[in-house]
Structure 1
Amino acid sequence: MAQEAVDKMKLTGPDIGIVPKPGGKGLVGLPVWMWTDKTAEAYGPNKASATAGAVTVTATAKVSQIVWDMGDGHKVTCTTAGTPYKSSYGKKSSPDCGYRYSHSSKDQEGQKYPVTATSTWTIDWNGGGQTGQLTETRQSQTQVSIGQLKVLN
């Protein structure tokens, strides 16, 4: 019944926010900011119940971490939703979920790095005199283009 309650939640992968934005271009060495919107479906908390006869099981789900596969062989683990980027931040690094590419994406398929964000959902449930915990994962994907600035003397 706990799984039935979880299925009602319609949990998704992260609602990816990333700078440089898809369609834009970042530069080697400059900060990349990653975040997800804090909706019930993409980050939690999310709560649902399932009932069979006189027994009701209630489950509460929330994201405990997001692992960002940056597409260049590196992964970043973030334990928060991340901070949405604002242009007033300029070239500052993200305070809680960021990265810097060390190579351009010119040799990648489509000249972009594929970025995959995998959320780990921790789900606590109780009902019928019992309690437990489930773990599920969900993924979302995007792409970023990273160029290299060359200085000429």
Structure 2
Amino acid sequence: MKRSRRTVLGTSTATLAIAISALILTAPNSSAEPVDTGKGGGTEEKGGGDETGIYAAARVQYSGAVAKGGGRGNVTSSDVNWTPPPCWYAPYLGAKDFKKKMSKDIESSKNAPGMTGHAGSAIAEVERHYEDEYGWTDTPGYKDYNVEKDGEGMFWAGVENPDEPDYLKRKSCTDLPFWVDNGEAPPPQYEEAITPELLAALAYQHMQLPDTKVTLAPEATTKVNLPTWAWLDEAVFDEIQATAAINVPGFNIQATTTAKPVSLKLEPGTEDAETYPASGECQINDDDSIGEPYAKGKSDETPPCGIKYLRSSGDGAYKLKATITWEIDWTGTGGAGGGLPDGTFGTTQDITVQEIQSVNR
């Protein structure tokens, strides 16, 4: 956060950080599978609660073309400087449930080994922050955990992105949970608060693009110096969409990323080859196809998209890599939207190249 914070009287920032880490203040990781985030006693973990009925942290729900099992999708950003968010702030608990959880965590931390002295003082100040309106420079405190406003808002807390490195997570989202009224935006100093744009980045991260199996003529086995035609039909080359959403009482946002294929790059798997065009980059046609299917009578023509191998693959095969570049945009709640870096995904297929046999008489 780019703001003055955590300047606690008589307690160093490092000591307070130790005390905070002793408490369970960070919301559970997001889930890559759709979940029911309803509140209720006996709700299973996948339903957004626990055995006590305490409302669990708002999880990101994914739908559409997304990777299964909560992992990253297969899309790679063409912008090497672009990374998904390592963490974010999201709705966590209502006032009464937050008081119940915090009171338990604080009491446990007070009794933990090594939590005396400065660390113990910091824990006491965290307790005062939520009980007695004890605040810092621009972080006001709360009276009795805001229980008088229960149902009118929620405490928000940090959620770590499980697919990002730990060292990135530790640099952000370290603030104590903070209150947000229903229908209101989080205070502007919380730059990592969940937004449609951030959800779009998460949908991008989890997007699953289809395999790129290029149609070839000749197929799988070709001859030295024989042009091989390559193409992708528009019928199997459609737009892909992935949606990320958060839906909890008083706060509902979502974003959908749309990926459109724009070009195909061919990498023959050997330097002993030529590509058509020379760059190996085949652009999309007006009918949303790429390349041109081979037809009888075109054997003497140069394919608009293809390869010519100059040497036999011997007893093995060359690994032809076909990579599609996808143009990615997003739209979200409230009419928000924009562009994201182009994404790429490639697959390989074996190509056997044989010498043309001749008969000597």
Please confirm whether the aligned pair reaches a TM-score higher than 0.5, indicating the same fold.
Answer: yes
* Structure 2 CA distance for partners of 1:39 and 1:11, relative to 1, 3 Å: farther
Gapped runs of 5+ residues in structure 1?
none
- Of the three residues 214, 224, 232, the one matched with 1:28 is 224
Which residues of 2 match residues 133-144 of structure 1 at below 5 A?
133-144=340-351
Answering whether residue 310 of structure 2 is matched by residue 83 of structure 1, we say no
Which residues of 2 match residues 12-27 of structure 1 at below 5 A?
12-22=210-220, 25-27=221-223
Q: Provide the identity percentage.
A: 27
**Which structure has more RCO (C-alpha within 8 Å, separation ≥ 6)?**
1
* Structure 2 CA distance for partners of 1:94 and 1:6, relative to 1, 3 Å: farther
* Greater helix proportion: 2
Q: In structure 1, how many angstroms separate the alpha carbons of the residues matched to 2:227 and 2:317?
A: 16
AA aligned opposite 1:99: I
Q: In structure 2, how many angstroms separate the alpha carbons of the residues matched to 1:98 and 1:112?
A: 17
* Structure 2 CA distance for partners of 1:37 and 1:6, relative to 1, 3 Å: farther
Deviation at 1:62, TM superposition (A): 1.2
Number of the residue aligned with 1:125: 330
* Greater strand proportion: 1
AA aligned opposite 1:85: Y
* Structure 2 CA distance for partners of 1:93 and 1:125, relative to 1, 3 Å: farther
CA contact (8 A) 1:70 1:115 kept: yes
Deviation at 1:148, TM superposition (A): 2.1
**Under a length normalisation based on structure 1, what TM-score does the superposition of the two structures give?**
0.75
- 1:98-121 CA-to-partner distances (Å, cap 9, x unmatched) read 121222222xxx432111111222
Please tell me whether Structure 1 or Structure 2 has the larger radius of gyration of its CA atoms: 2
Q: In structure 2, how many angstroms separate the alpha carbons of the residues matched to 1:82 and 1:141?
A: 18
AA aligned opposite 2:353: I
Deviation at 1:97, TM superposition (A): 1.0
- 1:81-109 CA-to-partner distances (Å, cap 9, x unmatched) read 222334x2451446431121222222xxx
AA aligned opposite 2:291: G
Q: In structure 2, how many angstroms separate the alpha carbons of the residues matched to 1:112 and 1:45?
A: 32
Q: In structure 1, how many angstroms separate the alpha carbons of the residues matched to 2:328 and 2:302?
A: 28
**Under a length normalisation based on structure 2, what TM-score does the superposition of the two structures give?**
0.36
* Structure 2 CA distance for partners of 1:56 and 1:89, relative to 1, 3 Å: farther
Aligned CA-pair RMSD: 2.7
Answering whether residue 306 of structure 2 is matched by residue 98 of structure 1, we say yes
Q: In structure 2, how many angstroms separate the alpha carbons of the residues matched to 1:82 and 1:123?
A: 22
- 1:25-47 CA-to-partner distances (Å, cap 9, x unmatched) read 3112211011234456xx33123
Number of the residue aligned with 1:56: 254
* Structure 2 CA distance for partners of 1:94 and 1:35, relative to 1, 3 Å: farther
Number of the residue aligned with 2:319: 114
